Homo-oligomer: A and B are copies of this chain.
Amino acid sequence: MLAGAELADEIGFAAVTVSELARRAGVKVPSLYSHVRNSQDLRTGVALLALEDLADRGSAALAGRAGKDALAALANVYRDYAREHPGRYAAAQMPLDTETALGSAGPRHSQMTRAILRGYDLAEPDQTHAVRLLGSVFHGYVSLELTGGFSHSAPDSAESWVRILDALDAMLRAWPPTPER
């Protein structure tokens, strides 16, 4: 799987194929079918690896931090990982079937986001709403940045990132009460 992950970073997750992997490894294609069930399995393996990897970095970054400090730390783990390992990051976004997703490191990610919210005063169900919002921003921003959405215009994407984290921090501290509807 590791070889697949490196391949993904090099040529893009979409181009990760059994054939290409065999070519790099200097073996014939069918030889890999002893190690990988099928093409889908290869991609899923890379995705699971990336999710684990990312979760490990997240919990390391979160250790000993709270509040905005924790928010920025986790957010930067995602952004930095995507820039360092674009193929792996793309893999981590791959839709997994329910069973695989539950067995993956995916749940650790939402737990980490929830952990950040301990530094803010949010009761359920607002805490879950906030988890979903933060997840959306992390995923959305990083993926837009990666596919070049913000690349060719001022201000710099890095500047937007820190200001967005400022704004999210302020928002979480002043989370609006449920209005009458």
Hey, which bits of chain A sit against chain B, CB under 8 A?
Answer: 93, 95, 98, 101, 125-126, 128-130, 132-133, 135-141, 143-144, 147-150, 152-155, 157, 159-160, 163-164, 166-171, 174-176, 178-179
Number of chain copies forming the complex: 2
Q: Indicate which residue in B143, B150, B157, B171 contacts A139 across the interface (CB closer than 8 Å).
A: B143
Given A140-B136, A174-B174; A159-B125 close (CB under 8 Å): yes
* B-chain residues with CB within 8 Å of residue A138 when the two chains form the complex: 140
A164 to B168, CA, bound (A): 12
Cβ B160 vs Cβ A170 within 8 A: no
Query: CB-nearest residue of chain B relative to A155?
Result: B125
Cβ A125 vs Cβ B154 within 8 A: yes
A93 to B140, CA, bound (A): 11
* B-chain residues with CB within 8 Å of residue A135 when the two chains form the complex: 140, 144, 149
Cβ A133 vs Cβ B164 within 8 A: yes
* B-chain residues with CB within 8 Å of residue A170 when the two chains form the complex: 171, 174-176
Within the complex, what minimum Cβ distance (angstroms) separates A169 from chain B?
8
Q: Indicate which residue in B129, B141, B159, B176 contacts A160 across the interface (CB closer than 8 Å).
A: B129
A153 to B124, CA, bound (A): 13
* B-chain residues with CB within 8 Å of residue A155 when the two chains form the complex: 125, 128-129
Within the complex, what minimum Cβ distance (angstroms) separates A40 from chain B?
12
